[in-house]
Amino acid sequence: MCYPTLNTLPPSPVSKTGWPWTDESPQLPKTMPNGSQWPRITIVTPSYNQGQYLEETIRSVLLQGYPNLEYIIIDGGSTDKSVEIIKKYQPWLTYWQSKKDNGQSDAINQGFALSTGEIMGWVNSDDILAKQALYHLALYYQPGLNWWNGTASQIMQDGTIIWRDPQQISHVTRNDLLHARKIITQISTFWTREIWNQVGSYVSDRNLVMDYELWLRFSQLTNCLIIPETLGFFRTHFQAKTGTVEGFKRYLSECDRLRLQEYIKERQPFIIRAILINFWTRFSYSKIYGWKTWLMKIPIPYV
């Protein structure tokens, strides 16, 4: 794709200033400091009727100053100004389409199926990549590292920052995820094609927690490396899936349900053993005390 700058992109609205309207990331040289090629980074944006924010999202990706970017937008047939905005930036996109799909996860999967990048991630159509995010990410790309999470900030509808993720650990383990000791923010999370292929090459159709479900699959293979740089901003507004109290409660409930499923799956041999011990205990007692033993409340052994 082309190598866009502020001077080559369409001008920003007069009322908009700062990143990514009147500010851009420094243009990177064609090769990395060691002389090697920059890894190709694929960004997919699933889009549907969020034209109010979409242009800011697109500009935050295109103005990274990154020499090896693959940017794909999959729009679900928006009826607002989204398609008009996408067309305005078409010369700098690797691919885009606008037609009915089966929701956000389907759009993400379609985009990644078309991609070729060594590093992958998605940016929702109301979120923003941070300035120089892809540069910082690429510096951590090395053999043996397949999954990264950077600092993220939560912003309001107008872009005001209301929360920053305090990254105080070096990595996130599977146990951290299962015990809810660390939240991995989606906007600041990226991974390699290698691990993507290993876990099945798809995002699940779990509407609220498809990112968390993907992290759990990744965590079966590796830890998530925490990097200190800010990589993105996620926006809170009433149209967002978790933008209301009820929406956030549903999100937490889905996370709990998913954690329980994973826990049961991993502890299955022990749970089966406990059930068998319980059955054998009742059977043994019945030989001595008769059939009413089967009605006794015998606790399941600790597993």
Residues 119 and 76 in one domain: yes
Number of domains in the chain: 2
Whether residue 285 is found in the same domain as residue 192: no
**272 pLDDT exceeds 80?**
no
Catalogue the long-range contacts made by 251-255 (C-beta closer than 8 Å, 24 or more residues apart).
251/208, 251/209, 254/206, 254/208, 254/209, 255/180, 255/209, 255/212
**Pairing mode, strands 119-122 and 161-164:** unpaired
In a shared domain, residues 130 and 272: no
Clarify whether residues 144 and 245 are in a common domain.
yes
Phi, psi of 125 (to 5 degrees): -75, 5
Q: Which of 112, 49, 119, 59 is nearest to 82 (CA)?
A: 49
The predicted structure's pLDDT at residue 74: 98
pLDDT value of residue 283: 57
Higher pLDDT, 260 or 99: 99
Average pLDDT over residues 240-266: 78
The neighbouring-strand residues paired with 75 are 47, 98
Beta-sheet pairing, 189-192 with 69-75: unpaired
Q: Is 32 domain-assigned?
A: no
**In contact, 199 and 218? CB cutoff 8 Å:** yes
Q: Check residue 297 and give its pLDDT.
A: 47
Q: Examine the pLDDT at 179 and tell me if it is beyond 90.
A: no
The string of pLDDT tens digits covering residues 141-160 is 999 999 999 999 999 988 88
Q: Which amino acid is at 32?
A: M
Is the per-residue pLDDT at 65 higher than 80? yes
The confidence score (pLDDT) of residue 49 equals: 96
Spatial distance between the Cα atoms of 85 and 253, rounded to a whole number of angstroms: 36
pLDDT at 271 over 80: no
Same domain flag for 275 and 145 = no
pLDDT value at 242 more than 60: yes
pLDDT value of residue 284: 54
Same domain, 50 and 62: yes
Domain with residue 77: its CATH number is: 3.90.550.10
In a domain, 155, yes or no: yes
Q: What domain range is 283 assigned to?
A: 267-295
pTM of the model as a whole: 0.86
Do 143 and 198 belong to one domain? yes
Tell me the per-residue pLDDT of 77-100, one tens digit each, with 9 for 90 and over: 999 999 999 999 999 999 999 999
Residue 45 in domain: yes
Position 293 confidence tier, pLDDT thresholds 50, 70, 90: very low
**pLDDT at position 166:** 76
CA angle, 44 then 50 then 56, to 5°: 65
Average pLDDT, the chain: 87
Claim to verify: residue 59 and residue 201 sit in the same structural domain: yes
Contacts of 56 (CB under 8 A, 6+ apart): 16, 20, 21, 128
In a domain, 108, yes or no: yes
88/146 same-domain check? yes
Q: What are 131's two structure tokens?
A: 């300035």
Over residues 194-200, mean pLDDT: 97
Identify the residue with better confidence: 276 or 210.
210
Of the pLDDT bands very low, low, confident and very high (cuts 50, 70, 90), residue 278 is: low
Query: Which range among 159-163, 223-227, 229-233, 294-298 shows the weakest confidence by mean pLDDT?
Result: 294-298
For residues 56 and 20, give the distance between their C-alpha atoms in angstroms, rounded to a whole number: 7
| Pairing status of strand 147-155 against strand 224-235 | parallel
Residue 238 lies in a domain: yes
Q: Is residue 302 part of a domain?
A: no
- Distance from C-alpha of 88 to C-alpha of 188, rounded to nearest angstrom: 26
* pLDDT for the residue numbered 183: 84
Shared domain for 128 and 238, answered yes or no, is yes
Based on the domain organization, do 197 and 239 belong to the same domain?
Answer: yes
Distance CA 259, CA 18 (A): 40
Verify that 118 and 148 share a domain, yes or no. yes
Contact 20, 131 (CB under 8 A): yes
With H, G, I as helix, E, B as strand and everything else as coil, classify residue 52.
helix
pLDDT at 301: 41
